[in-house]
Amino acid sequence: LAARTRFFDDQVIAAVANGAGQVVVVGAGYDDRALRFRSPGVRYFELDHPATQADKARRLRSMGVSAAEMVLTPIDFRYDAVGPVLAGCGHDPATRSLFVVEGVLVYLDQGTVLRLLAGLAGRASAHSRLAASLATQRPRGSMVLTGGANARPGTGRNELWRTVLPADAYLGLVERAGWEVGSAVDPAQLDPAVVPGGSLFITAYPARAQPARSRP
């Protein structure tokens, strides 16, 4: 989690420094980057379940945080198309965006992951970026990994892990959704305490805007 937080913090800091006017936090939960990295001229959109957002809005109000700091947009990725939802909450597809997809895809089935990432690609202007964490299979295979994870109290009991794929297959899925993968980092490269192979942190570009791909 420490490596993951640093990675996504760095993505937001870099996007804001490079002129992104919008940060879309997908499956935001209690992400606080809209507050920690607020910057004049940058709008934050947060997408999550209505119930999570209602609770977050209540907590923010009780902390005296202005509702203007971020646009909380309710959505269920399983049933709602992200493109129209973003259009409806004021996201501008012509403005450079960073799409932050941290710790959420694993809870969605593969079809939903594909539709969601494709919907985000459809809202991405040329210099927009995607930053996402992907749950990947270690060599023993997803059944073992997923079964073990779901058996642990506090992880799978409430939210099942639904998409855990071999790294290459996952990167292929991201590309089928309309993104060119620019970088893919195993968190073990960022923190020696992490066991390698279980996830990838990626950055990607809208495919139509990207020249040659360089995947590490």
Ligand X SMILES: C[S@@+](CC[C@H](N)C(=O)[O-])C[C@H]1O[C@@H](n2cnc3c(N)ncnc32)[C@H](O)[C@@H]1O
Residues interacting with ligand X, by CB under 6 A? 27-29, 31, 48-49, 52, 75-78, 102-104, 107
Q: Is the Cβ of residue 45 or residue 107 nearer to ligand X in the bound state?
A: 107
| In the complex, minimum distance from the CB of residue 81 to ligand X, in angstroms, rounded to a whole number | 12
Q: Is the Cβ of residue 137 or residue 199 nearer to ligand X in the bound state?
A: 199
| In the complex, minimum distance from the CB of residue 142 to ligand X, in angstroms, rounded to a whole number | 19
| In the complex, minimum distance from the CB of residue 72 to ligand X, in angstroms, rounded to a whole number | 12
Q: How far apart are CA 150 and CA 155, in angstroms?
A: 6
| In the complex, minimum distance from the CB of residue 79 to ligand X, in angstroms, rounded to a whole number | 8
C-alpha distances (whole Å) from 158 to each of 80, 151, 154 are 21, 11, 7
Pairing mode, if any, of strands 43-48 and 22-26? parallel
Cα dihedral across residues 85, 89, 93, 96: positive or negative: negative
* Owner of token pair 């040329």: 126
| In the complex, minimum distance from the CB of residue 216 to ligand X, in angstroms, rounded to a whole number | 23
Q: Is the Cβ of residue 69 or residue 210 nearer to ligand X in the bound state?
A: 69
Q: Is the Cβ of residue 99 or residue 170 nearer to ligand X in the bound state?
A: 99
Chain centroid to CA 102: how far? 4
Amino acid 85 reads: V
| In the complex, minimum distance from the CB of residue 33 to ligand X, in angstroms, rounded to a whole number | 10
Q: Which residues pair with 25 in a beta bridge?
A: 46, 100
